[in-house]
Amino acid sequence: MLYLTSDDFPIFVPFGVIGFYRYLWYMIRITASFTYRPVPLPENPTYVASEDVTIIVPTIDAGEEFKEAAHSWLVGKPKEILIITEEKMKGPLQELAMQVDPERIRVLTVPFANKRLQMAHGIKNTTTDIIVFADDDAIWPPTMLPYMLACFEDQKVGGVGTSQRVQPVGKRMTVWEVLAAFRLTIRNIEISSSTHIDGGIPCLSGRTAAYRTIILKDPEFLHGFTHDFWLGKYQLNSGDDKFLTRWMVSHGWSTYVQCCKEAELLSTMKPNWRFLKQVLRWTRNTWRSDLRSLFMERHIWTVHPYVAYTMVDKLFNPFTLLVGPVLVSILIWKSTIPIEDGGYHLPWWNIVVSYMVWLMATRTAKLLPHLWHQPEHIVYVPAFILFGYYFAIMKVYALCTLHETAWGTRAGIGDPTAATAAAATAGKEKTDYFSVPDTPTQPQTPNRPPVVEMQSGYAPRAAYGGQTVYSR
């Protein structure tokens, strides 16, 4: 390939600059990730799980895997676990709850399956200072809750996330699960580095994340959370974790991610091609949320400039990634033309082999943190390379279909607008699922230090349990 540059060197300069730029920033991320340190456990913790933590689990089809997950949550001794489901699933989930711990697990219902509606209903039924949202298949280490609560010793912290690893569905990982594991390894590096560099994070993953209850009981938050529209007319159901993260940034709260074995959850992924549908949903959510953060809300530029950079980088990433195959195709075509007619010296097969060697070397290097622990997965690197190009095309497709808001991988999750209307109707007869009661349920805050004002320009809006929610 170096010899090829003698034919038309200038064409390689911009691509060399792009490659140098991308790998320079990758080295910066790796360095920041290695120098990152999690928040240690305090000697005298302010928050204790048995008094201050409610776990909210929105679900519609929890099965036997729920038992393993619930037992792992209960090891941390939370005060209560709220399972929020649709009415027709209350019986089966109540039976599961009785088998695990009938005293600490309650099952509540909403009229229709809608994740944000379910989460909002759980928030209104919470009486503790800290809420932890968890997926019904998220398996925690025994130290998860203490390490998450340690971050809340800083009264500026409003939300806390964790690192993640893939739990195989069967005895061995499928290629789809390995691809998901590669992605999670890269994500763990990204979130630890951004947390270390400027304290921000693109998204506090909804698989498990903790928040101060006073933030989520804010009437403005609850209304915005359950009435979130893209372009003013497409109501969103997924993307709840993106909304929560943006709310932290726009309302002056800090976030932190505990990237360590003591706070690393296990989560199952789709073990077949349906994983691609999951990725498509996540990609649409990322496009919508990042565009909002960067160009509509714009708080991210001043609060977390490094995270803003990573968001901008992701906007252009699919296009820069696809430039490689296009350039190689041009070079192959030029290599078939005689030299005297302006063709290149190297034969086409030399270009192809050189390109494949370069891809294998660079992609393997990026996956070394994962391969260090699971070297047997090196055979899946070619699949990861192919997936990378497929993902780039998918990102472009997702950008063109942001109006599609369907869940994609779970049956029974229908139109969020219909669910909202049904909840509003049911609220007139029983409980209003969207508006906060005149006298909200008060989280208990015995001997808690007051939450300080986050930034200038923020004013107190509402108080719960002796603490104050701040907003612009």
Query: Count of alpha carbons within 13 Å of 174, Cβ hemisphere only?
Result: 12
| Distance from chain centroid for Cα 90 | 28
pLDDT given at position 350 = 83
Q: What is the mean pLDDT of residues 455-460?
A: 38
**Residues comprising the chain, all counted:** 472
pLDDT given at position 344 = 74
pLDDT in tens, 82-134: 999 999 889 989 999 999 999 999 999 999 889 999 999 999 999 999 999 99
Cβ contact 46:152 at 8 Å = yes
| Distance from chain centroid for Cα 362 | 25
With a cut of 70, say whether residue 174 has pLDDT above it. yes
Question: What is the 8-class DSSP label of residue 295?
Answer: I
Q: What is the mean pLDDT of residues 172-181?
A: 96
**Strand-pair partners of 209:** 133
With a cut of 60, say whether residue 4 has pLDDT above it. no
Which range of 73-77, 98-102, 323-327, 444-448 scores highest in mean pLDDT? It is 73-77
| Distance from chain centroid for Cα 7 | 46
pLDDT in tens, 10-59: 556 666 777 777 788 889 999 999 999 999 999 999 999 999 999 999 99
pLDDT given at position 370 = 95
Cα–Cα distance, 441 to 353 (Å, whole number)? 65
Work out the percent of the chain whose per-residue pLDDT is above 70: 83
pLDDT given at position 415 = 57
Treating both helix axes as pointing N-terminal to C-terminal, what angle do 305-335 and 175-198 enclose, rounded to 10 degrees? 130
pLDDT in tens, 285-305: 999 999 999 999 999 999 999
pLDDT given at position 293 = 96
pLDDT given at position 416 = 58
Q: Which residue has 């494949």 as its token pair?
A: 356
Q: What is the mean pLDDT of residues 308-322?
A: 91
**Domain boundaries 37-272, corresponding CATH code:** 3.90.550.10
With a cut of 60, say whether residue 449 has pLDDT above it. no
Greater confidence (435 vs 244) lies with 244
DSSP annotation string for 401-458: TTT----SS-TT---HHHHHHHHHHHHHHS--SSSPPSSPPPPP-TTPPPPPP-STT-
Greater confidence (198 vs 447) lies with 198
Greater confidence (197 vs 335) lies with 197
Greater confidence (158 vs 406) lies with 158
Mean pLDDT of the chain: 85
| pTM passes above 0.75 | yes
pLDDT given at position 21 = 78
8, two tokens: 């038309």
pLDDT in tens, 332-367: 888 888 877 777 777 888 888 888 998 999 899 999
pLDDT given at position 269 = 92
Q: What is the mean pLDDT of residues 128-145?
A: 96
pLDDT in tens, 58-77: 998 877 788 999 999 999 99
Mention every residue, 6+ apart, whose C-beta is less than 8 A from residue 188.
33, 163, 164, 259
Domain boundary assignment for the chain: 37-272
Q: What is the mean pLDDT of residues 369-379?
A: 95
